[in-house]
Structure 1
Amino acid sequence: MTDRTPSFQEAMEIAATWLKQWDDEEISDEVMADRAAELVASRDGARGFFVVSLAGESSLMDRLPDPLVIKLREAGDGVVDLTARNLAMSAAMVVHHRNNGDEAQALGSERVNQRCTELLRQLDSHRVKERLETLLDAASHSRGDDLSFLERWGYDDDQKAAIGDAVQAVAES
C-alpha cells in the first residue's frame, strides 16, 4: 500500500484482492495479518476490510489465524467498535430478511453475525465487554451512546431484541 490512506471503496477492493491471494495460498497467514493491520489502521480502511472479510466468501474470518487475531487485537478500540456494530447490524438484518421471506439473505447475515461473535471472543475482553455493554444498554433499555446508532437504522423492537441476544451470545462459549 502507499502512504495515502485508502478510501472505503479502495479498501474494499484492496481487501478483496488480498483475501483472494490468501484463499489461493499465495500469501501466508502472517502476510495477510500484516496487510489487514495496514487497512484497519484507518476507519475507512477498517470498514472496507470488514465489509469484505465478514460478508464475503473467504474463509479468513471463519479460521481466524493467530497472526490475524494478534494484529486485530493490537488495532484496539476501532476494531472492537466496528465488530460490535457489525454484530448488531447483522443480527437486526437476520430479523429483517426473515420477515421479508428472504432466507438466503438471512443466512448470509447469520454468517456475518457468527463471524463477529467469534472475532469479538478473540479480541481484548475488557474492551469488548465495555463496548458490548454500551450496545446492550441501547438495544435493551433505549439509552446510552449507541441509541443514535440504533435509531439511525430504524431498528424495531424485534431487531433490538435480536441485537441483545447477539450481545449475550458473545459471552457464551
Structure 2
Amino acid sequence: MSIPSSLLASESITFEGAIELTQSLLSFMEADRLLQADIQQAVTSLVKTQNGARGFFVTYLTDDREEPDHPSPGVVEALRSAPEIVAELLVKNLAMSAAMVVHHSRQQKQEMAADSARVQERSRNLIQILQIPACQTIASQMLESLQSANGKYETFFQRWGYDDEQKLAMGSAVRSAIG
C-alpha cells in the first residue's frame, strides 16, 4: 500500500488546502487505509510549512473522530519533524482554546465551551506526548507575557482582546501542560 499523492502537501499549500487535505487524511486513517509510515509522511508534508501546519491543527484538534484524542505514532513522529512551527501553534491553540472556554461559558454556549475544552485537552495532550523543548520555551515566554503584560506574546493577547479572566485561564492551561 502506498500513500496517494493527494495526501501529500506541496510547499505552496494554502491554509484552506491544508484543511481539505487533513480532512481527507483523517478519513483514510479512520478507514484504516494507511500505514503509520504513510500517516507520518502525509503529516510531515503538512507541518513543514506555516499554512500546512495551521490547516492541519485547526482540522485535527477540532475533529469529531477519536484519533486526535489518542494520536497515532505516525502523527506524533511527524509533529516532531517541525518543532518550531508545531510548538508555537500547539501552545497558542492551548491558550486560545482556554480563553474560548471562558468566552463561550459566559455566553451560556455550553456546546461551544465543550468543543473549546476538547481542543484545549488535545493540545495539552500533544504538548505532553511530544516533549519538544520549543514548547517549554514558548510556554515560558507566554507565561512571562501574561504576568508582565509585556514581552513576546503581549501583542498576540492584545490583538485578540483577551481580558483578565481569559488570561488567567490561559496561564493555568499553559502551566498545566508544561508541568
Fold conserved between structures, TM > 0.5: yes
Structure 2 CA distance, aligned partners of 1:68 and 1:53? 10
Q: How does 1:1-173 map to 2 (within 5 A)?
A: 1=8, 3-172=10-179
Structure 1 residues 78 and 3: alpha-carbon distance in aligned structure 2, compared to 1, 3 A threshold: closer
Q: TM-score, normalised by structure 1?
A: 0.94
Any conservation in 1 of the 2:19–2:55 contact (CA below 8 Å)? yes
Q: Where do 5+ consecutive residues of structure 1 fail to align?
A: none
How many residues are matched? 172
The worse-fitting range, judged by mean Cα deviation, of 126-135 and 149-158 is 126-135
| Runs of 4+ residues over 3 Å off in structure 1 | 1-4
Q: TM-score, normalised by structure 2?
A: 0.91
Q: Where do 5+ consecutive residues of structure 2 fail to align?
A: 1-7
Q: CA RMSD in A?
A: 1.4
Any conservation in 2 of the 1:90–1:113 contact (CA below 8 Å)? yes
Cα deviation, 1:29-69, whole Å, max 9, x if unaligned, reads: 33122101101111000000000000111322211122321
Identity of aligned residues (%): 32
Please name the residue that 2:4 is paired with.
none
